[in-house]
Amino acid sequence: MELNIVRYILIFPLLGFLVNGLVGKRLGNKAVGWIANSAVFISFALVVYIFIQLLSMAPGSRLITDTVYTWINSGSLTIDFKLMIDPLTIVMLLVVTGVGFLIHIYSIGYMHGDRSYSRFFAYLNLFMFSMLLLVLSSNIVLMFVGWEGVGLCSYLLIGFWYEKDSAANAGKKAFITNRVGDYGFLLGLFLLASAFASKGILTLDFTTMAAHISLISPQILTIVGILLFVGATGKSAQLPLYVWLPDAMEGPTPVSALIHAATMVTAGVYMIARMNFLYVLAPEALEVVAIVGGLTALYAATIGLVQNDIKRVLAYSTISQLGYMFVGVGVGAFSAGIFHLMTHAFFKALLFLGAGSVIHALSGEQDMRKMGGLKNKIPVTHAVFLAAALAISGIPGLSGFFSKDSILAAAYASGHTVIWLLGFITALLTAFYIFRLIYMTFYGESRLDKHAAEHVHESPKVMTVPLIILAVLSVIGGYIGVPQLLGNLVGWHNSDIFVNFLAPVFRTMPKHEMPVSTESWLMIGSIAMAILGVFFAWYVYIKSKMRPAEHAAESLPGVYRLLLNKYYVDEVYNAIIIKPLLWMSENFLWKIFDVRVVDGTVNGSAQVTQWASTKLRKIQTGDFQVYVMLFLIGVISVLAYFVLR
Partner 1 sequence: MHFDLNYSAILPQIIIGVTLFISATIDAFSSARKWPVGIITLFGIGAGISSAVYLWGSNIVSFSQMVSLDEFSLLLFITVMIAGFITVLVSLKYVDDMEPDGGHFYLLLLSSLLGMMFLVSATNLIVIVLGLELMSLSIYPLVGFTRDRQISLEGAMKYLILGAIATAFLLYGIALIYSVLGTTNLYTIARILSTAQHMTGNLVMMAGVAFILIGFSFKVALVPFHAWTPDAYQGAPAPITGFMAAAVKAASFGAIIKVVIIVLQSFHVPVAEALWWLSAVTMFTGNIIAVMQKNVKRMLAYSSIAHAGYVVVGLVSGTAFGMSSAVFYLLSYTFTITGSFAIITYLEKNDGTGSELSDFSGLAKEHPILSLIMAVFMLSLAGIPPTAGFMAKLYVFSAAIKSGYIGLAIFGILTSVISLYYYLRIVYAMYFEESEGRTDTPVPAGIAAGVFIALWGVIQLGILPSDIMNFAMQSIQSLIH
Partner 2 sequence: MSYQLLVILSFVLFVIGMIGVAMRRNIIIVLISLELMLNAVNILFVSASKYMHTLDGQMFVIMVITIAAAETAIALALVVKVFKTVGMVKIDDLKKLKW
State the binding string over 621-640 for partner 2 (x if CB under 8 A, else -): xxxxx--xx--x--------
Using rule CB under 8 A, residue 379 touches partner 1:
no
Report d(CA 558, CA 568) in Å as an integer: 12
Which partner in partner 1, partner 2, none is near 70 (CB below 5 to 8 A by kind)? partner 1
Rounded to whole angstroms, the Cα distance separating 57 from 79 reads 28
73 binds, among partner 2, partner 1, none (CB under 5 to 8 A by kind): partner 1
Site string (573-612) toward partner 1, x via CB under 8 A? ---------------------------------x--xx-x
Q: What is the β-pairing status of strands 64-73 and 78-85?
A: antiparallel
Q: Does 625 engage in binding with partner 1 (CB under 8 A)?
A: no
Verify binding: residue 450, partner 2, rule CB under 8 A: no
Q: How far is the CB of 612 from partner 1 (least distance, A)?
A: 5
CA Rg value for the chain: 28
The smaller minimum CB distance to partner 1, of residues 73 and 488, is found at: 73
Figure out which of the listed residues 450, 493, 511, 618 binds partner 2, where binding follows CB under 8 A. 618
By CB under 8 A, tell whether 476 contacts partner 2: no
- Give dist(CA 28, CA 31) in Å, integer: 6
Q: Does 615 bind partner 2 (CB under 8 A)?
A: no
518 binds, among partner 2, partner 1, none (CB under 5 to 8 A by kind): none
Between CA 162 and CA 160 the distance in angstroms is: 5
**For the residues of 12-38, what is the DSSP string, one character each?**
HHHHHHHHHHHHHHHH-HHHHHHHHHH
With respect to partner 2, which residue has the nearer C-beta, 603 or 621? 621
Q: Does 493 bind partner 1 (CB under 8 A)?
A: no
Q: How far is CA 621 from CA 333, 611, 613, 633, in A?
A: 77, 17, 14, 16
Reference 137, options 267, 45, 260; nearest CA is: 267
* Candidate residues 56, 74, 376, 555; the one interacting with partner 1 per rule CB under 8 A: 74
For position 610 contacting partner 2 by CB under 8 A, the verdict is no
Closest CA relative to residue 174, chosen from 161, 158, 186: 158
Q: Residue 195: CA atoms inside 13 Å, Cβ hemisphere, count?
A: 21
Please give the C-alpha separations between residue 94 and each of 121, 124, 126, 219, 342, in angstroms, as whole numbers: 20, 17, 18, 36, 9
Helices (H), 159-198: 165-198
Tell me how many residues contact partner 1 (CB under 8 A): 34
Interaction partner, residue 645 (partner 1, partner 2, none; CB < 5-8 Å by kind) = partner 1
CB atoms within 10 A of CB 628: 10
163 binds partner 2 (CB under 8 A): no
625 binds, among partner 1, partner 2, none (CB under 5 to 8 A by kind): partner 2
Which is closer to partner 2, CB of 450 or CB of 617?
617
Q: At what angle do helices 557-564 and 547-555 cross, to 10 degrees?
A: 100
- Binders of partner 1 among residues 20 to 49 (CB under 8 A) are 22
List of residues contacting partner 2 (CB under 8 A): 617-618, 620-625, 628-629, 632
List of residues contacting partner 1 (CB under 8 A): 22, 69-71, 73-75, 606, 609-610, 612-614, 616-617, 619-620, 622, 624, 626-628, 630-631, 633-635, 637-639, 641-643, 645
